[in-house]
Amino acid sequence: MAKKQYAVIGMGRFGSSIAHALSGMGFDVLAIDANEQRTQEMSNVVTHAVSADSTDEEALRALGIRNFDVVVVAIGEDIQASILTTLILKDMGVPVLIVKAQNELHGKVLQKIGADKVIYPERDMGLRVAHHLTSPNILDYIELSEDYSILEMKASEQMIGKNLLELNIRARFGCNVMAIKSGGSMNISPYAEDRIADGDVLVIVGHKDHLTKLELAYPK
């Protein structure tokens, strides 16, 4: 099976980070930015780096952008350019289009014009930091939808030595323990009798309100 090919438009901090990560995973990556200095900085990182105006349809066609499996529009402050680029790419028939949004309104517009997935990196990072500040046991927090999320929670002192039946997280908080990480292993189908050890990490899914109650119940 051929490797997926990715194009990332906008080489700011977010876009360049994605391009770095994809290249590090061995994928072919085309990096595009209107700023020639930024593309030069990425030339030794990605497969191809090109300086081009993403709102110029002919320029994108010349790059063969429609042949890429996934295109990420990571344009920063210029919302107008972000929207216009998304419109052009959607009209060109790009298979999967992922677009960074500055705010909720921007995101709604992107969804209406056909973005397959809208991401909010600043908001998502803010959520993760806020949850870590309120509960140091929270290692990661991922928003699944408007109402539901997944969190990775380091086992608190009150959890250690108890099994899932004794903790009774589902009945007490309405959340489900999907997996338990123990050292380098992952138990993706934990039993009620499985005991929590020091250093274990619980992967829990639930409604945001329920997860917040769970966090507050195990502050340390």
pLDDT value for 219: 72
How do the domains of the chain map onto residue ranges? Answer: 5-119, 125-217
* CATH superfamily, with its number, for domain 5-119: NAD(P)-binding Rossmann-like Domain (3.40.50.720)
- Contact between residue 51 and residue 66 where contact means Cβ atoms under 8 Å apart: no
Q: Who's near 64: CB < 8 A, 6+ residues apart?
A: none
Question: Which CATH number describes the domain made up of 125-217?
Answer: 3.30.70.1450
Helix 79-92 × helix 104-112 angle, to 10°: 20
pLDDT tens digit sequence for 76-88: 789 999 999 999 9
pLDDT of the residue at 115:
94
The residues, ordered by sequence, that sit 6+ positions from 63 with a Cβ below 8 Å of its Cβ are: 7, 30, 32, 50, 52
> Residue 1: its pLDDT value, please?
53
Contact indicator for 100, 73 with CB cutoff of 8 Å: yes
Residues of the chain with pLDDT under 70: 1-2, 128, 131-135, 220
Rg value, the chain, Cα: 21
For the segment 171-193, what is each residue's pLDDT rounded down to a tens digit? Answer: 999 999 999 999 888 998 899 99
